[in-house]
Structure 1
Amino acid sequence: MTPTATLTCIRLNPGHPAVRRDLADRVQLHKTLMRLAPGTPSPHPRRDAGLLFRLDTDHDQPTLLVQTTQPPNLTGLPAHYGTLLAARDLTPVLHTLTAGQHVRYRITAAPVRHLPGAPCGRRPDGRLLRHRGTPSALHGHDAALWWQRRAGQSGLALTDISLTPRTFERSPHTPHQPGLHHQLIQFDGHARITDPRLLAQSICRGIGRAQSYGAGLLSLAPA
């Protein structure tokens, strides 16, 4: 069964105090956007709401792309927080993805590699078992290889890749939380769809780490 998703585009009002606060702190931005998806209490509210977002700053005014499983509750945002540019049901698009189709893509992601952890035993064949290691951020060629691998696992064969580093804004007043320092990279380029079902699932589920803070939302357009 093909999953469902709604994509909402909001042009932010940079003069609004809540917008200025959120643009300076990804943690606060995440808290604000969670107000778009109220629901029953859950141990994993963001994941259960299917909430993914990306902050695009290509234009004079910053724009938020917000993806949710159900149409968002826009009244949850502060008054005059931004202007709604579009709200689109992605479900028909997910149904029409076809193998061999050529597309343009964009995703902001947090590529990492886990360093080897401490030994914790041995397998029956004698190979050493290790704890999961500390994640280490990837850059440049290593980041491109990471995205090429993850794209292949998500139903896309990449034709080309361009990388743009993006800042992970965090207020100095935010209490320290282990693992909250992320390196974000925006990947753009062209690709060919290899597995439409897997790709639809990846679009709805998100790709990679730091999805609460603006990573993992994959956007496609006809090539």
Structure 2
Amino acid sequence: MYLTQFRLNTARAGARKLLSSPQAMHAAVMSSFPEPPATEGGASSPRVLWRLDRNARSEVRLFLSSPARPDLTHLVEQAGWPAVATPEAPGWKTYDYGTFLARLDKGSTWDFRLTANPVHYARTKKGQKSTKRTAHLVPEYQLQWLLDRQDRGGFRVLEKPPERRHVQHGDEYQCVVREQRNLSFHKRGNDDRVQLLAVTYDGRLEVTDPDALRALLTRGLGKAKAYGCGLMTLAPTPQGS
């Protein structure tokens, strides 16, 4: 497994085109591999996952998890800084993700970031038996969507110390909804418009089942994985925090 990071040059038209269309970004991500990974789409196998982190208006980073090592030369040429790229510093960084995943231990704590598509199934009309997939729009329910999946996902979202909590629901957890964005685009060859809600969570977790968490980190969580949802990444918890 590999984890790749690429910073987009938001001043370029190519970058703005990719950022405006999850469909275009998905195609660019999949073009990073000479051949589509053999495990792509497998329910029990690692797959290609990606996420956009908007840390500032001019700082947008693409994170890419994949079973095969990607080549992002085309993204550097279209949406990066090709003039300063060298063989030693091609414009992106790829890390050995498998070694990191193998070291995950039960009981260890990590800061995490996840962009997901939190949805539920609801009846559109009173008394109607059929249901429709609908996005959770309220942060309270978006957080609960994540909490409902933590046991199966091999992690536990940590709670705040009592003295740091407030009265509103959800504030007892070390997790916040950092951002939510409405994504709307057309699929190729389809006139119907796809509409998705992408929600980004920042928080802190404890590993309860390393194997289950490794599966989540490499297969993704929730729906809309092809369009920038489902990828959770971990970072060391700062000492003393």
TM-score, normalised with respect to structure 1: 0.81
CA distance in 2, matches of 1:54, 1:218: 9
Query: 1:142: which partner in 2?
Result: 141
Q: How does 1:52-71 map to 2 (within 5 A)?
A: 52-59=49-56, 60-71=58-69
Query: 2:168: which partner in 1?
Result: none
8 Å Cα contact 2:116/2:229 also seen in 1: yes
TM-score, normalised with respect to structure 2: 0.76
CA distance in 2, matches of 1:73, 1:108: 23
By how many angstroms is 1:80 displaced?
4.8
CA distance in 2, matches of 1:220, 1:167: 22
Matched AA of 2:69: P
User: RMSD of the alignment, in Å?
Assistant: 2.7
Question: Residues 106, 153 of structure 1: CA spacing in aligned structure 2 closer, same or farther, 3 A cutoff?
Answer: same
Give the counterpart of 1:200 among 204, 211, 214: 214
Question: Residues 176, 153 of structure 1: CA spacing in aligned structure 2 closer, same or farther, 3 A cutoff?
Answer: farther
Matched AA of 2:25: L
Matched AA of 1:137: A
By how many angstroms is 1:76 displaced?
4.1
1:97-147 Cα offsets, whole Å, 9 max, x none, are 0100011111011100112599xxxxxxxxxxx66x311111211111110
CA distance in 2, matches of 1:147, 1:56: 19
Equivalent residue pairs, number: 205
1:176-198 Cα offsets, whole Å, 9 max, x none, are 436x2111111111111000011
Query: 1:177: which partner in 2?
Result: 192
Query: 2:75: which partner in 1?
Result: 77
- Asked whether 1:166 is paired with 2:166, we answer no
Query: 2:111: which partner in 1?
Result: 104
Query: 1:124: which partner in 2?
Result: none
CA distance in 2, matches of 1:153, 1:89: 26
Question: Residues 143, 70 of structure 1: CA spacing in aligned structure 2 closer, same or farther, 3 A cutoff?
Answer: same
CA distance in 2, matches of 1:197, 1:171: 35
Matched AA of 1:12: L
Question: Residues 18, 222 of structure 1: CA spacing in aligned structure 2 closer, same or farther, 3 A cutoff?
Answer: same
Moved more, 56-65 or 94-103: 56-65
8 Å Cα contact 2:15/2:78 also seen in 1: no
CA distance in 2, matches of 1:10, 1:41: 20
8 Å Cα contact 2:119/2:134 also seen in 1: yes
Matched AA of 2:53: D
Query: 2:162: which partner in 1?
Result: none
Question: Residues 194, 24 of structure 1: CA spacing in aligned structure 2 closer, same or farther, 3 A cutoff?
Answer: same
Question: Residues 221, 146 of structure 1: CA spacing in aligned structure 2 closer, same or farther, 3 A cutoff?
Answer: same
SS at structure 1 position matched to 2:35: coil
Query: 1:123: which partner in 2?
Result: none
Instruction: Percent identity, please.
Output: 25
8 Å Cα contact 1:12/1:19 also seen in 2: yes
SS at structure 2 position matched to 1:88: strand
1:2-36 Cα offsets, whole Å, 9 max, x none, are xxx21111010123222111111111111111111
Which segments of 5 or more consecutive residues in structure 2 lack a partner in the other structure?
82-90, 159-173
Matched AA of 1:170: S
Query: 2:224: which partner in 1?
Result: 210
8 Å Cα contact 1:23/1:169 also seen in 2: no
CA distance in 1, matches of 2:233, 2:76: 26
Question: Residues 49, 99 of structure 1: CA spacing in aligned structure 2 closer, same or farther, 3 A cutoff?
Answer: closer
